[in-house]
Structures are given as C-alpha cells and as structure tokens.
Amino acid sequence: MNFLAVILCLGVAIASPQGRGVSIGGAGGTGRAIGGGIGGGFFRRPNVITNNHATTCGQWQRACYGQGLNTVNAFPVIPFFVQCQAAAAARNNFLIRIDFDGTVTPTNSFGQAVEDIEVQANCFTIQCQQEAFTNQLKIERFLQEVEFCGGNRR
C-alpha cells in the first residue's frame, strides 16, 4: 500500500509543470515563481535593506563587513548566528564577512578565509616552533567556536 502511494505521488510530481506558478483561468502563472510579476518574487518589498549593519552584528559591528550588509535585497542572515560568530571573532582578532548570498565567512584582517590559513614556522628554534603551534591552535579553537555558533549557515 505504501509503495502504491509513493508511486502515485511521483506520478503527480512528474505530471505537474515545474518552474511555473499555479494559475486559475488559463493564464500562465510564471511571473510569481520566476521572480517577476506584481507582488511576486523572493522579496516582497523592493529597495529594502535586508541586513542592517547595526541589527545584524549588534555590539560587534567592528568585526563585521561585506557586501551583504546595508545592501538592498541581499539574502537575509540570522542575526543571532552572526552576533555569536562576531563575538568569537572580536575575542580572537578576526573579522566576519557577510556576502550578498548570505554566506558568513570568518576572515583575517586581509580578507583571507581563516580556514585557508596555514601557520608555518620560518625558523628552527624551539621557541619559534612553539609560537607557530600556539597560533595554529588559536585558529583551530576559533573555528570550533564559529562552528558552535552555527558555522556557514545561510
């Protein structure tokens, strides 16, 4: 019985037109599903700043930057996750970049993703190698804090 119900659902899904909205009266409903038309699209109100810098980053505004902040129609991010990540970044002297598509990436002061940083010891003394090892552990601890806050959620 369950098998027949699944087959029936798949048949209905395949028979339905995809990429188009539902319309009544024979008129095509493509405007709402694709993004055009009156009142359609992903965002209901045009020309609205989606991620306000003050509300998205809270008291850690100095740790946040990117094209997704104070931009019209950027993909919205969850302020709780961003503020948690910005707090961790501020404690460890890193930054949080918010992209237009809603991706939140921890970076260093040069804009390089923290996940891509490889700490290398350029000397042979024990003190220098211990310092490089400590810096690597600091980066790993920071990335664990960011993952605890929500990671790269959109």
Q: Convert the pLDDT of each residue in 75-113 to its tens digit.
A: 999 999 999 999 999 998 999 999 999 999 999 999 889
H or E element in which residue 65 lies = strand 64-65
Q: Which residues lie below 8 Å from residue 72, measured CB to CB, with a gap of 6+? A: 46, 47, 48, 49, 50
This prediction has a pTM of 0.63
Q: Which helix (H) or strand (E) holds 98?
A: strand 95-98
- pLDDT at residue 89, as a whole number: 92
CA–CA separation, 68 vs 78, rounded Å? Answer: 12
- The domains of the chain are located at 18-46, 53-149
